């Protein structure tokens, strides 16, 4: 852990994460220069690290080998008692055994050394190269990470990522969440308000752990035929970010979608001759829901004006005028229930 950020144990893994995060930056000229500069330095650092590991390993091997050879040549002599000579014997044999003693001493020393060399050849500890497997593994991981990043860079330069050509190569670089799926999301058919619909779409993608790249690349899937015709008819590289795509979508469909009504539309709702009062209340309520901004007084006045064939209810509302639309509809419903009950009793 570095602060609150989780990091990896090996330098190669951390560098690979840096490479991935660099590719997620916006593909603008400013970010492009910074990304190219950082990528070049990271690749150089990875190569220098691999070369440094090779040199360290070679030096360690030479030091261990030299130390083993030195210990083999300077091993202590075996213990034992040596016979002491008297001065007389020494004087007698000085001239006679001088040369023989030297030859014998050198001969025994050579045999002793040869025996140590044979023992060292038979002892596997002196024959196993002093290599650390962890250094070798780390070096291979580093080399593999450098090679993989270089290969990805070269591939991305020669081949654009998959996706719609209307999206830039930067926007098409997406990491899909595991088991990503949007459920119960109605496709956009061009009739609904685009701003309201795309807000719900963003919430659905966020709830499925998706980011803006996921929003953009999954966006064609949730469009109907009208949306496909609009999106696929645009030129290549039209969008470099989700915000650009979102705003273009709203601007295109805001003029063709069903516009919200106003108070004049509500005033056009009137009861018809021989029409049940429940049908008039239902038509009035449906239109009222399509008008986003209308006061209670305007809605109540429009309802009363529309009552042309129900004078009793009209008089009741004028005598005791409701203050809210909910109170108005409750009064109209109670009046309708009482009227239906009275009609049923007369038929019986």
Residues 181 and 139 in one domain: no
Residue 74 inside a domain? The answer is no
pLDDT of residue 145: 82
Residue 299 inside a domain? The answer is yes
Residue 70 inside a domain? The answer is no
Task: Give the count of beta carbons closer than 10 Å to the beta carbon of residue 88.
Answer: 8
Residues 47 and 177 in one domain: no
Question: Residue 176 sits in which domain range?
Answer: 169-253
Beta bridge partners of 167: 239
**Could you identify the residue written with the tokens 């049908």?**
279
Residues 244 and 277 in one domain: no
- CATH no. for residue 297? 1.10.1200
Over the stretch 179-199, which tens digit does the pLDDT of each residue have? 888 888 889 988 888 998 999
Residues 57 and 185 in one domain: no
Instruction: Give the separation between CA 246 and CA 195, rounded to whole angstroms.
Output: 9
Residues 246 and 308 in one domain: no
Angle at 22 between CA 148 and CA 27, to 5 degrees: 115
Residues 58 and 137 in one domain: yes
Tokens of 334: 């109670």
Environment class of residue 72 by beta-carbon count within 10 Å: exposed (0-12), middle (13-18) or buried (19+)?
Answer: middle
Instruction: Give the separation between CA 22 and CA 39, rounded to whole angstroms.
Output: 8
In sequence order, the 6+-apart residues with CB closer than 8 A to the CB of 160 are: 169, 172
Pick the closest to residue 202 from 164, 242, 239 (CA basis): 242
Residues 249 and 203 in one domain: yes
216 touches 240 (CB < 8 A)? no
Residue 123 inside a domain? The answer is no
CA dist list (Å): 6 to 15, 38, 97, 103, 174: 14, 21, 79, 72, 22
Residues 17 and 152 in one domain: yes
Q: Last residue of a domain, which of 200, 222, 253?
A: 253
218 touches 201 (CB < 8 A)? no
pLDDT of residue 309: 86
Size (the chain), residues: 348
Instruction: Give the separation between CA 278 and CA 203, rounded to whole angstroms.
Output: 37
Instruction: Give the separation between CA 149 and CA 166, rounded to whole angstroms.
Output: 27
Residues 218 and 282 in one domain: no
- Give 332-340's long-range contacts (Cβ < 8 A, gap of 24+): 332/277, 332/281, 332/303, 333/281, 335/277, 336/277, 336/278, 336/281, 339/277
Q: Tens-of-pLDDT digits for all 348 residues of the chain?
A: 555 666 666 666 666 667 677 777 776 777 777 777 777 667 766 766 766 666 666 655 565 555 555 555 544 444 444 444 444 444 444 544 455 555 555 666 766 666 665 555 555 555 555 556 777 788 888 888 888 767 766 666 566 567 888 999 889 888 888 888 888 888 998 888 899 899 999 999 999 999 999 999 999 999 999 899 999 999 999 999 999 999 999 999 988 877 777 788 888 889 888 888 889 899 998 888 888 788 999 999 999 888 888 888 888 888 888 999 899 889 888 888 887 776 666 555
Residues 145 and 49 in one domain: yes
Pick the closest to residue 176 from 157, 166, 162 (CA basis): 162
Phi and psi at residue 167, to the nearest 5°: -100, 145
How many structural domains is the chain composed of?
3
Residue 220 inside a domain? The answer is yes
CA dist list (Å): 289 to 15, 188, 255, 260, 278: 56, 20, 20, 9, 17
296 touches 323 (CB < 8 A)? yes
Q: Last residue of a domain, which of 224, 253, 282?
A: 253
Residue 75 inside a domain? The answer is no
Residue 214 inside a domain? The answer is yes
Residues 174 and 248 in one domain: yes
Task: Report pTM.
Answer: 0.42
Instruction: Give the separation between CA 23 and CA 36, rounded to whole angstroms.
Output: 10
pLDDT of residue 178: 85
CA dist list (Å): 230 to 188, 219, 250: 12, 13, 12
Q: Last residue of a domain, which of 230, 253, 276?
A: 253
Residues 50 and 146 in one domain: yes
195 touches 259 (CB < 8 A)? no
Over the stretch 157-167, which tens digit does the pLDDT of each residue have? 566 567 888 99
Residue 238 inside a domain? The answer is yes
């Amino acid at each position: 852990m570095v602060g609150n950020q989780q990091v990896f144990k090996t330098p190669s893994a951390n560098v690979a994460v840096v490479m991935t995060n660099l590719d997620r930056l916006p593909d603008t000229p400013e970010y492009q220069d910074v990304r190219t500069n950082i990528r070049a330095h990271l690749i150089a650092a990875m190569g220098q690290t691999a070369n440094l590991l090779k040199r360290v390993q070679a030096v360690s091997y030479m030091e261990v080998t030299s130390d083993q050879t030195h210990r083999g040549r300077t091993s202590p002599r075996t213990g034992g008692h040596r016979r002491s000579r008297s001065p007389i014997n020494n004087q007698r044999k000085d001239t006679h055994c001088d040369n023989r003693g030297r030859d014998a001493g050198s001969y025994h020393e050579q045999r002793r050394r040869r025996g140590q060399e044979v023992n060292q050849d038979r002892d596997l500890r002196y024959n196993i190269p002093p290599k650390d497997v962890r250094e070798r593994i780390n070096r291979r991981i580093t080399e593999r990470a450098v090679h993989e990043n270089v290969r990805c860079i070269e591939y991305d330069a020669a081949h654009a990522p998959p996706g719609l050509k209307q999206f830039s190569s930067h926007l098409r670089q997406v990491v899909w969440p595991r088991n990503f799926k949007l459920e119960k999301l109605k496709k956009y058919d061009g009739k609904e308000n685009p701003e309201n619909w795309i807000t719900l779409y963003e919430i659905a993608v966020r709830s499925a752990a998706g980011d803006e790249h996921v929003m953009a690349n999954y966006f064609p899937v949730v469009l109907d035929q009208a949306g496909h015709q609009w999106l696929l008819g645009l030129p290549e590289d039209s969008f470099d970010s989700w915000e650009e795509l979102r705003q273009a979508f709203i601007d295109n469909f805001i003029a063709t979608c069903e516009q919200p009504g106003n108070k004049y539309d509500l005033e056009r709702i009137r009861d018809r001759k021989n029409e049940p009062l429940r049908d008039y209340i239902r038509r009035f309520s449906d239109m009222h829901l399509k008008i986003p901004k209308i006061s209670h007084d305007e809605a109540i006045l429009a309802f009363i004006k529309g009552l042309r064939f129900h004078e009793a209810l009209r008089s009741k509302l004028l005598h005791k005028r409701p203050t809210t639309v909910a109170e108005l509809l409750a009064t109209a419903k109670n009046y309708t229930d009482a009227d239906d009950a009275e009609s049923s009793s007369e038929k019986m």
